């Protein structure tokens, strides 16, 4: 017998998402192409790999590191990240031998998901 079959029901949130997507497409408010493009953005353009690129660049490029500490928003934008909700105003701090920073986030609307990924 070909293919895969599962007797497990689809999780409720997945069913709701599929129903909402189908309804929006049926009403002409959304197309499957738009959904596919949005999913691709979240899969490839948003996430913690962006923050890792920023940090790696700061490690190997002292001039970039200084720009990052002076104006995090502008320096991060140099790499093409920011905006799109969260990331509009980025403040960058660094740990030193005598100062260790702890960042506490409440996951509000200012969460920098373009750089850190979805919470």
Is 109 catalytic? The answer is: yes
**Cα–Cα distance measured from residue 32 to residue 72, given in angstroms and rounded to the nearest whole number:** 36
Reduce the DSSP state of residue 84 to 3 states and report it. coil
Out of 22, 31, 32, 110, pick the active-site residue. 110
Is 110 catalytic? The answer is: yes
**Angle in degrees, CA 87, 119, 41, rounded to 5:** 65
Out of 22, 31, 32, 105, pick the active-site residue. 105
Is 32 catalytic? The answer is: no
Q: Which residues are catalytic?
A: 105, 108-110
């Amino acid at each position: 017998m070909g293919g895969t079959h599962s007797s497990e029901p689809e999780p409720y949130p997945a069913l709701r998402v599929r129903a909402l997507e189908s309804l929006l497409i049926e009403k002409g408010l959304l197309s499957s192409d738009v959904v596919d493009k949005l999913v691709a953005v979240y899969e490839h353009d948003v996430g913690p790999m962006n923050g890792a690129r920023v940090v790696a660049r700061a490690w190997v490029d002292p001039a970039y590191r200084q720009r990052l500490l002076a104006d995090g928003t502008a320096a991060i934008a140099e790499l093409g990240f920011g905006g799109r909700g969260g990331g509009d105003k980025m403040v960058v701090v660094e740990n030193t031998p005598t100062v260790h920073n702890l960042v506490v986030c409440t996951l509000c609307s200012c969460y920098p998901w373009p750089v850190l990924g979805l919470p």
